[in-house]
Amino acid sequence: MPSTPDQNAALQAMFQAGGAMAQGFNKFLAEQQQQLSAAAPAGTNPAAWAAESEAMKALQQEWMERHAKLWQGMLGKAPDQPAPQVASPAPGDKRFDHPAWAESPVYDYLRQAYLINAEYMKRMAEAAPVTDGQAKNRMRFMTRQMVDAMAPSNFLATNPEFVKKALETKGESIQKGIQNLLGDLDKGRISMTDDSAFEVGRNLAVTPGAVVFENELMQLIQYSPTTEKVSERPFLMVPPCINKYYILDLQPENSLVRYAVEQGNTVFLVSWRNVQADCGHLTWDDYIEKGALTAIKTVQDICKVKQINALGFCVGGTILGAALSVARIRGENPVASLTLLTTLLDFSDTGEIGYFVDEKAVQAREATIGKGGLLRGSELATVFSALRANDLIWQYVVGNYLKGNTPPAFDLLYWNADATNLPGPFLAWYLRNLYLENNLRVPGKLEMCGVKADLGRVDMPAFLYASREDHIVPWKTSYQTRSLLGGETTFVLGASGHIAGVINPATKNKRNYWVNDSKTANADEWFETATEQPGSWWPVWAKWLKSHGGKEVPARGKLGSKACPPGEPAPGRYVKEKA
């Protein structure tokens, strides 16, 4: 059935709007070409960008043909017939699931035109004549950011769900959306969960214990035992300093801290301070000396033992590994076993975070806050959200502001939004020496706390865990830790990502993990012969840890010691400080 003049005019406008996206991307590609040609000529082939390039011409031709097919199908469609499906969302993409997208030819056209353009953009990025791996990955990342941002679902005028919800609620959803937007502007961040549902110390970080030591950088928490007997060697956990520690102690049913206590361990944990301006002078060496090494020494003194067991998570693992290198070079051997969760010691491939770190960016940090100052937690949170923009930004823009919804309560997302500041000198050193120059892996290259670091001297048994879909700590890079440490290593690979893979409670027995006794230095070879196991990896780790705990002894009746008496109850005040 022929379309009416009004329909033709509307569809023509939509066709022009859809084409604008691809034109914008062509401009984006041209700008990238100029930058790459100037900055990294060895990694590019500028001539291949020419309009005569066969690969580029073929992609453009295919793009035009798909749009023409969509356009012709829309014009020739009978009103009671479904629109032709020229483009469909990728599996798992739920942005266009609502029936409203298919009920109107205009919105259906917008949806499919966007998907055609998005695929074209991504394929153009793949075909781009860039041979330098880092530059290529950065282009892929920037392309994805542009594609995600330009989705018609993100805007009032092009999202039929906004209109439908407004009509159904008689405008109440619009009012609520405005209120949500104003509230988030006041917070300075997008709400990802119902903040009123959680409070640290009330229903998060509630494992019983007390602060037994503190300095300007950290509080040391000791947890109350729940078993009559415990392993002789106490157990220290060093979480990342770029987030709050309670990711390891969310709620009782998904708390790794509580699980460790229940397995018969005397558990201690470092609670890093959410630093303010008065701590803007702190350095990497401070985090080693006043943080990890001080915590280890305090646990030794409280429990009157020569050796403890220790765990580091993410950046906490990097700090702990570096600290143990310092200790071993000093002739000390305070740790009997080491657990590293999603940790980088080799920074050869840092995943998408690395796209933000280059010489220019690091120099800028060194010039502004390298001698003193803070990286604000809000800035850090924005970077991490940008890595998964559809999941952590646009989903909430649409839900909170366009539809006027209140996001559901979710403890992990509450933690994710509880940002932390970082001291400028610490950050600048970390970016320069680890992310940019990858110096920690080179024996004797870095000086820390007055000695030359050598990870090969860290020779105690180590349990290494990585997550297969981790976009912050790529598992194959984490696997390289096996070649850096001097002791025997056990490697376990879990399903899911950086956080969900780690916080996988044994009681829920979800997901899966891979194990392999192979000692190969090649991650792909290890995985090819690995055995997949259902459920949580926690029990495998708990059994390994117990084998390094020493004999069983009666649990201590009191927390702390005479020199380190218990103070404020867990979780302490440091973790409650806001950025």
Residue 325 parent element (H or E): helix 315-329
Contact 434, 442 (CB under 8 A): no
Written as six digits, the tokens of 569 are 């109850």
Contact 113, 64 (CB under 8 A): no
Contact 55, 127 (CB under 8 A): yes
Catalytic pick from 241, 279, 303, 314?
314
Q: Which of 345, 291, 258, 309 is nearest to 538 (CA)?
A: 258
Following DSSP, what letter does each residue of 148-213 receive, concatenated? HHT-GGGSGGG-HHHHHHHHHTTTHHHHHHHHHHHHHHHHTS---S-GGG--BTTTBS-S-EEEEE
Following DSSP, what letter does each residue of 329-359 receive, concatenated? HTT---EEEEEEES--S--S--GGGGGG--H
| Catalytic status, residue 449 | no
Give ∠ CA 395-411-478 in degrees, rounded to 5: 85
As a whole number of angstroms, the distance between CA 132 and CA 266 comes to 49
In single-letter form, the type of residue at position 299 comes to V
On the CB side of 510, CA atoms within 13 Å amount to: 9
As a whole number of angstroms, the distance between CA 482 and CA 490 comes to 8
Residue 570's SS3 state is coil
Give ∠ CA 579-200-308 in degrees, rounded to 5: 95
DSSP label at 41?
Answer: G
Helix ranges (DSSP H) in 89-132:
100-103, 105-127
Q: Which are the catalytic amino acids?
A: 314
